[in-house]
């Protein structure tokens, strides 16, 4: 999974300081407010020991490319892929099976009502 859509970035568009918390929020699909509150709680619980890690992440992470998602539905899809890739693959496989079943129903309908088409398909097999 080396796709640019499955990489953690700094999100400077929704940033308050360096964009690390908003990048984590974008990556996980959780609201940035909750990530920031969790960071503040961790900050107070560790006595400020997480501050160097925040700035290190801010320096090492790349900025989120502006072309990453074309629409919000695509963003939600890729967040689902990052959260649980196996479930996403199962959902896609299920949708494809449903499409295949529906196409088979359409084919059966047209073939059964058109004997010439049925004979042509059988000849091609």
pLDDT by residue (tens digit) across 28-70? 878 889 999 999 999 999 998 889 999 998 888 888 777 777 7
121 φ, ψ (degrees, to nearest 5): -65, -40
Query: Is the pLDDT assigned to residue 93 strictly greater than 70?
Result: yes
What distance in Å separates the CA atoms of residue 17 and residue 32, rounded to the nearest whole number? Answer: 13
Tokens of 78: 């890729």
Percent of the chain exceeding pLDDT 90 equals: 12
Which residue from 1, 6, 2 is spatially nearest to 68, judged by alpha carbons?
6
pLDDT for the residue 82: 73
Q: What are the structural domain ranges in the chain?
A: 1-83, 85-125
């Amino acid at each position: 999974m080396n796709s640019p859509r499955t990489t953690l970035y700094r999100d400077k568009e929704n940033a308050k300081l360096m964009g690390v918390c908003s990048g984590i929020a974008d990556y996980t699909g959780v609201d940035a407010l909750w990530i920031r509150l969790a960071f503040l709680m961790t900050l107070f619980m560790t006595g400020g020991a997480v501050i160097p890690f925040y700035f290190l992440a801010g320096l090492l992470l790349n900025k989120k490319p502006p072309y990453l998602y074309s629409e919000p539905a695509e963003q939600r899809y890729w967040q689902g892929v990052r959260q649980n890739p196996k479930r996403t693959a199962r959902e896609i496989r299920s949708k494809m099976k449903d499409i295949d079943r529906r196409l088979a129903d359409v084919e059966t309908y047209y073939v059964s009502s058109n004997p010439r088409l049925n004979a042509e398909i059988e000849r091609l097999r």
